[in-house]
Amino acid sequence: MTSPAERLFRLFPQTPSVLDGHEEGVAAIPGLVRGEPAWMSNARFRANRHAAENARSYTRMHLTLANVCVDLEDAAVIGGVLMANAALHSGVPAYAQIPMQWVLLRTGELLIQVQDSRRDFPGFDEAVTWEPAEGEKPRGLWIARELGAELAFAPTEAGKIVQALIKPLEVPAWDSPVVSDTP
């Protein structure tokens, strides 16, 4: 995890586009991203009550089509959690659009990031390290962390970016050749 005071240190401008007057790229928060992007995609979701479910469904579909090697259901839940936090806590109206980006790194790791217009993230460290008491309902960032996401955030000129880094699935080694010599 990074402290809230740390700044973004690197931009990957392979797919520049204009987003509310700002050039968009993949922002890497120090200590979280450890490689160059192999593939990236982005979308926007309205900040209404359907934002989290829309982000979850889109993430599931999009990553399935992209054939990434991560747990798709976990990635979909994590994407929904990040979008829910942005929609609930950024203070933007329901018609506002919240950008979301998926980046597959050459290491096989998947980075999901959501950008909102609020620069600060009060209680980030507490939200990430929070543990539910017995009988207490799990909350967003705890769920993302339990699913294996490394979480970080950093302020930007347009607000902040919250990121989740997801490890690739372990692929078992094959003891026999993939293609058999026998018919």
Dump pLDDT digits (tens) for 27-59. 555 445 556 677 889 999 999 999 999 999 999
C-alpha to C-alpha distances, 142 to 81, 92, 129, 151, 157, nearest whole angstrom: 9, 24, 7, 10, 27
What lies within 8 Å, CB to CB, of 17 at 6+ separation is: 23, 24, 42
- pTM value? 0.74
Residue 150 pLDDT grade (very low, low, confident, very high; cuts 50, 70, 90): very high
> Can you tell me the mean pLDDT for 110-135?
83
Most confident of 20-24, 137-141, 152-156: 152-156
Other CB atoms closer than 10 Å to residue 68's CB: what's the count?
A: 21
Nearest to 101 by CA among 112, 90, 92: 112
